[in-house]
Amino acid sequence: MYFASDNSGPVPAQVLHALAKANEGYAMGYGADAEMAEVTKRLRDIFEAPEATVHLVATGTAANSIALATLSQPFETIFCTPTAHIHEDECNAPEFYTGGAKLTLVPGAPGCDDKMTRQALYATIAAEETRGVHGPQRGPVSLTQVTERGTIYSLDELQALSAVTREFGLPLHLDGARFTNAMVALDCTPAEMTWKAGVDALSFGGTKNGLMGVEAVIFFDPKHAREFELRRKRGGHLFSKHRYLSAQMLAYLRDDLWRDNARKANANCAYLAAGLRQAGASFQHEPQANMIFAALPRATHQRLFEAGAAYHLWDGPLEGDLTEQITARFVCDWAISTVQMDQFLALI
């Protein structure tokens, strides 16, 4: 009964087989392996972006931080939401890799601080760079899709936000740790959710959707590639035995594994949400992808934890008034079974 995160689950057999296959014989290191050339070709096809450049790293923090460092200067500020992973969950890695760029938080609509509005983004950007050489200069905008609260920007919302970044001449980065979960939920193409919506750089997640540890950074303008490569090496994220990263990504893209896993994860979450709703739980946001925040009485949480369930309480400790409603985060991965979810729901 694992709902702690979508990195708790196993790696699909196809990926392990691909690793075993990649393990036969010899290959050039540092990204010069044949499989990396194939990864680039496939991602260019998938994204309908023949010029795009593709770079693999092993963590999302590295993907986001090195991409943002490439898009910014140390005297600039990066615009993101208060709940952004780059703000709350990367231990200042973006500030470190950028050489000191800061983050400026764009407030969300009330009750929805994980999604920027066009108006708030415009106002926040406009308020920066008003002190000449003395203040931070405007830098990239970074959005997260699926957001850290499990919600999704519609294509219209992405277009509206990118219109603002274009008006100010700023680059747009998308943290897509759960990119495919959003894409299948919106039933759109990869291009529609990225460069067609004004995205310049994408952190294309693999790990949360089944890989052992690979994320791709994709630049839709190849002018950024060289600088990213240098920053990745300097930052210690150029893998020597790189073919084992390539092999995972290739297996992910082969036979639609990436889409299938995301569909499964989203469907699992919808199943869990339906059960929770039946049990009287209320949701912070309507379920959209594979992550929900639901309130249950503390006594229920205690029963679930005692039975071995794993998930994160969000707004209160496990001990206290037994009737108090405590919100928890539940994330479903591709592999969790209905048997496990039924067992969990039966406990509720």
Ligand X SMILES: *Cc1c(COP(=O)(O)O)cnc(C)c1O
Give me the least distance between CB of 37 and ligand X, in Å please: 25
Quick one: which segment of 56-64, 68-76, 109-117, 132-140 binds ligand X (CB under 6 A)? Answer: 56-64
Q: Applying CB under 6 A, does 329 fall inside the site for ligand X?
A: no
Quick one: which segment of 34-42, 60-68, 184-192, 307-315 binds ligand X (CB under 6 A)? Answer: 60-68
Quick one: which segment of 54-62, 99-107, 183-191, 298-306 binds ligand X (CB under 6 A)? Answer: 54-62
Quick one: which segment of 55-63, 135-143, 245-253, 326-334 binds ligand X (CB under 6 A)? Answer: 55-63
Q: Which residue has the tokens 């500020």?
A: 77
Q: Which own/partner contact pairs does 309-312 have at CB distance under 8 Å and 24+ positions apart?
A: 309/1, 309/2, 309/3, 309/344, 309/347, 310/1, 310/2, 310/3, 310/4, 310/8, 311/2, 311/3, 311/4, 312/4
Q: Nearest to residue 57, comparing CAs of 183, 182, 193, 207?
A: 207
Give me the least distance between CB of 232 and ligand X, in Å please: 14
Nearer to ligand X, 35 or 90 (CB): 90
Q: Nearest to residue 33, comparing CAs of 50, 19, 16?
A: 19
**CA of 191: how far to CAs of 48, 131, 175, 224, in Å?**
6, 38, 15, 19
Q: Applying CB under 6 A, does 138 fall inside the site for ligand X?
A: no
Instruction: Please pick, from the candidates 106, 177, 186, 273, the single residue that binds ligand X as defined by CB under 6 A.
Output: 177
Give me the least distance between CB of 135 and ligand X, in Å please: 28
Which position's Cβ is nearest ligand X? Answer: 60
Q: Applying CB under 6 A, does 139 fall inside the site for ligand X?
A: no
Nearer to ligand X, 101 or 289 (CB): 289
Q: How many residues does the chain have?
A: 348
Q: For the chain, how are helix, strand and coil distributed in percent, rounded to 5?
A: 45, 20, 40
Q: Applying CB under 6 A, does 181 fall inside the site for ligand X?
A: no
Q: Nearest to residue 261, comparing CAs of 159, 334, 324?
A: 334
Within 10 Å of residue 256's Cβ, how many Cβ atoms?
Answer: 11
Q: Applying CB under 6 A, does 180 fall inside the site for ligand X?
A: no
Answer whether the bond into residue 54 is a cis peptide, omega within 30°: no
Q: CA dihedral defined by 166, 172, 174, 175, rounded to 10 degrees? A: -140
Instruction: Please pick, from the candidates 55, 85, 231, 237, the single residue that binds ligand X as defined by CB under 6 A.
Output: 85
Q: Applying CB under 6 A, does 150 fall inside the site for ligand X?
A: no
Q: Applying CB under 6 A, does 9 fall inside the site for ligand X?
A: no
In the range 199-258, which residues lie near ligand X by CB under 6 A? Answer: 207-208
Q: Which chain residues interact with ligand X by CB under 6 A?
A: 59-61, 64, 85, 144, 148, 175, 177, 207-208
